[in-house]
Amino acid sequence: MSTASSPFTYGPSPEDQRTLRGLGLDPVRRAPRAYAWLDFGTVAVEEGEGGTVQIEASYAPATFWRFTITSAPGTDWEAVTILETGSGSLAEFWPIARQFAVGMLAVASVDRKAER
């Protein structure tokens, strides 16, 4: 198996480019290879409790999204939550990430199964 980089670059679809522009981010970013996380930047969410959302994508060739959501300092639910999605568009997943940023959604607990 070759470890050489592909001559192709991977980037957002036209729909994702429109969504990124609407969020004030630069959509003209390209990953040098498949499966690499590409950081599009951070969006400040002003409504509700506020907070920030860092948006990253991985192309392989489907698009997967990662949102690092940091609550505003001093909020009752101060936390950093990382969401990773399955294949889909940013327009599908952004509303969910935004709900975490404004304090309308939170993870109450995660119970992991014991190792067997």
pLDDT per residue as tens digits for the range 58-84? 987 789 999 999 988 887 777 899 999
**Residue 109 lies inside a defined structural domain of this protein:** no
**Residue 53 lies inside a defined structural domain of this protein:** yes
Distance CA 48, CA 56 (A): 23
**Which H helix or E strand runs over 92?**
helix 90-101
Distance CA 107, CA 105 (A): 7
**Residue 110 lies inside a defined structural domain of this protein:** no
C-alpha distances (whole Å) from 89 to each of 1, 23, 25, 59, 60 are 30, 14, 15, 11, 14
> Which pTM does this prediction carry?
0.83
**Residue 27 lies inside a defined structural domain of this protein:** yes
**Residue 107 lies inside a defined structural domain of this protein:** no
**Residue 72 lies inside a defined structural domain of this protein:** yes
Please, what is the angle between helix 90-101 and helix 14-22, to 10°? 30
Residue range 87-108: mean pLDDT, rounded? 92
**Residue 22 lies inside a defined structural domain of this protein:** yes
Tell which wins on pLDDT, 98 or 60.
98
Residue 57, helix vs strand vs coil: strand
User: Which residues constitute the domain of residue 85?
Assistant: 14-101
**Residue 114 lies inside a defined structural domain of this protein:** no
How many distinct structural domains can be found in the chain? 1
